[in-house]
Structure 1
Amino acid sequence: MAGASHYTLPLPRFDKPVKLLIVVAPYYRDIADMMIAGARATLDEAGATHELIEVPGALEVPAAIGQAHRMANFDGFVALGCVIRGETTHYDTVCNDSSRALTLLGLQGACLGNGILTVETIEQAIVRADPKDQNKGGGAAAAALHLIALQRRWGGARGTVGFRPAGDSVLMADGGSDA
């Protein structure tokens, strides 16, 4: 819908420090730089600190976030990149697989904002990346911050979804246990 207004949630406030990892695929350097600027400005506004790493392409962004989620001490992650439709179906593969992998990481407890642009033209990418326009880098950073705030509100990460180590007991509704 042309001309529709978009509501943006106010940034959450934190009592304890927040540290995020920005992972960017700089294939289109100018687009990546605009998105990084937008993400950094949003993180700075929220009082968060961050580190930045670059990976070769959009498919490597979720792999890097997955490694950092398992092995490092970040509260959240900002995924940035840009995929522009070309002449082959490779576009569909990269868009679908990077998005799916980021969604799975989120379901496993990683607090992340997906700022991987999937566009038809470079002009569309510029509008979405520009911090003075749609600011999708800033939006991805804000999304990660909101998920961190929810995770802290609900008591922190609890491990992977749907699995528990052998020997862990579950409290049953009748007050008993399955152990």
Structure 2
Amino acid sequence: MASSETHYTLPRAEFDKPVKILIVVAPYYKDIADAMVSGAKAEIEAAGGDWDLIEVPGALEVPTAIGIAERMSNFDGYVALGCVIRGETTHYDTVCNDSSRGITLLGLQGLCIGNGILTVENYEQARVRAEVDEQNKGGGAAAAALHLVALARKWGGARKGVGFAPARDEFQIAGEGKGPTTA
């Protein structure tokens, strides 16, 4: 069983300027979500960071909420938390794949996201992974986000803008006046 295995863990990320992390959680399984949030908060605080918390209806909404927050706020990184337990239909596969894909696509655009959305076969697997004194996947997701923030700060400047650039009412072309142009 995975809970008896030991794995290497990177040293905690360190920062010379404050870090602000948004925890986005889908609390469908409330006790599982609460345990993961506790682990995430503790890890962020241990690294000297601040956090904010929002809840969304389900795992599919987590990437959307992160994308909105990135466009409209000032967080350094994000922790995605939730739990998907296999049921009797293929909906499990859709939720697992699409929530993960959404988070991955945001990450590839430069967002610093720790993915802590559990995808498990049963409640007991979720409980073991969520509990702070067991596998602490919420804390692990927060640690991942913090490490990515540290890399982003090491390698460059601000990273803003996810998706398409917003339309503007007026355009300016070098040497010409303001206003739209036609070809």
- TM-score above 0.5: yes
Aligned residue for 1:108?
109
Q: Which structure has the greater CA radius of gyration?
A: 2
How far apart, CA to CA, are the structure 2 residues paired with 1:156 and 1:95?
33
Aligned residue for 2:24?
23
- Compute the displacement of 1:37 (Å): 0.3
Matches within 5 A, 1:47-126: 47-126=48-127
Aligned residue for 2:153?
152
Aligned residue for 1:14?
15
How far apart, CA to CA, are the structure 2 residues paired with 1:144 and 1:107?
13
Q: What's the C-alpha RMSD, in Å, of the aligned pairs?
A: 1.8
Which stretch shifts more, 90-99 or 7-16?
Answer: 7-16
Aligned residue for 2:171?
none
How many aligned residue pairs are there? Answer: 163
Question: Do the aligned partners of residues 27 and 52 (structure 1) sit closer, same or farther apart at CA in structure 2, a change above 3 Å counting?
Answer: same
Alpha-carbon contact 1:109-1:157 (below 8 Å) kept: no
1:113-166 per-residue CA deviation (whole Å, 9 max, x = no partner) reads: 0000000000000000000000000000000000000000001345679x99xx
Aligned residue for 1:45?
46
Question: Secondary structure of 1:131's partner?
Answer: coil
How far apart, CA to CA, are the structure 2 residues paired with 1:70 and 1:160?
6
Question: Secondary structure of 1:91's partner?
Answer: helix
Aligned residue for 2:172?
none
- Compute the displacement of 1:4 (Å): 3.4
Percent identity of equivalent pairs: 74
How far apart, CA to CA, are the structure 1 residues paired with 2:77 and 2:38?
18
Alpha-carbon contact 1:109-1:160 (below 8 Å) kept: no
In the alignment, structure 2 segments of 5+ residues that lack a partner are 166-183
How far apart, CA to CA, are the structure 2 residues paired with 1:66 and 1:85?
26
1:36-94 per-residue CA deviation (whole Å, 9 max, x = no partner) reads: 00000101100100000000000000000000111110000000000000000000000
How far apart, CA to CA, are the structure 1 residues paired with 2:103 and 2:73?
17
Question: Secondary structure of 1:22's partner?
Answer: strand
Question: Do the aligned partners of residues 158 and 56 (structure 1) sit closer, same or farther apart at CA in structure 2, a change above 3 Å counting?
Answer: closer
How far apart, CA to CA, are the structure 2 residues paired with 1:131 and 1:4?
16
